[in-house]
């Protein structure tokens, strides 16, 4: 076998579920209690969905976004129409997953993609609030809160992206170590060792 084995979809789903579960706990117990100016907090769950979508693609991003949004809709203090976060996170997860195929992962582009996903998610959530006549989603309130929300998300994004990348890489390394042949060599390294170009 020349190439290491692919990671299993069930294992990747389990890692995504653990990441979202930990992020939801951190959102409710830490981020929502931060006394930040403007009365808004970073949306760690949205950042985790965007990071998972950038790592795993559009289908994982969409499913993870929907399930994470549904959990965020239900977990207290849920004071909005159920389904808003599920819709927003599902769309953002899908769009970021589609965009991930086009970006260079070795540069700072993923961090800009996370910031763009945070902006789109915040604006989309505010837009759905306006459509559903949420009294907190009036134009004056939204126009003052969205820039702060995006700023806090951008500040928190390197930490969340780093944690998600670390969790997914650790799983993939563990999966390769368990499932791979101890003598397996990646194809490019094999060609280099054998003198073939």
- The string of pLDDT tens digits covering residues 2-26 is 333 455 667 778 888 999 999 999 9
* Model pTM above 0.85: no
Q: How confident is the model over 169-190, as pLDDT tens digits?
A: 766 655 555 554 444 444 444 3
Give the mean pLDDT of 113-138.
Answer: 84
CB of 114 closer than 8 Å to CB of 83: no
Residues in CB range of 168: below 8 A, 6 or more apart: 12, 15, 19, 52, 55, 56
| pLDDT, position 104 | 61
Q: What is the pLDDT of residues 48-64, one digit of tens each?
A: 999 899 888 889 899 99
For the segment 34-38, the average pLDDT, to the nearest whole number, is 87
Are residues 80 and 73 in contact, defined by beta-carbon separation less than 8 angstroms?
A: yes
């Amino acid at each position: 076998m020349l190439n290491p084995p692919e990671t299993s979809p069930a294992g990747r789903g389990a890692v995504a579920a653990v990441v979202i579960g930990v992020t939801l706990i951190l959102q409710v117990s830490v981020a929502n209690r931060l006394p930040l100016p403007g009365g808004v907090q970073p949306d760690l769950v949205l950042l985790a969905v965007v990071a998972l979508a950038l790592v795993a693609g559009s289908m994982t991003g969409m499913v993870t976004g929907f399930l994470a949004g549904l959990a965020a809709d239900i977990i207290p203090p849920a004071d909005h129409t159920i389904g808003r976060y599920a819709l927003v996170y599902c769309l953002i997860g899908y769009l970021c997953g589609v965009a991930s195929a086009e970006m260079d992962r070795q540069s700072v582009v993923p961090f800009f993609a996370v910031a763009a996903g945070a902006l789109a998610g915040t604006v989309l959530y505010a837009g759905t609030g306006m459509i559903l006549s949420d009294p907190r989603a009036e134009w004056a309130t939204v126009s003052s809160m969205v820039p702060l929300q995006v700023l806090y998300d951008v500040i928190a994004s390197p930490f969340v992206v780093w944690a998600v990348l670390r969790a997914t890489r650790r799983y993939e390394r563990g999966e390769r170590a368990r499932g791979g042949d101890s003598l397996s060599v990646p194809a490019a390294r094999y060609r280099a060792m054998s003198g073939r170009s």
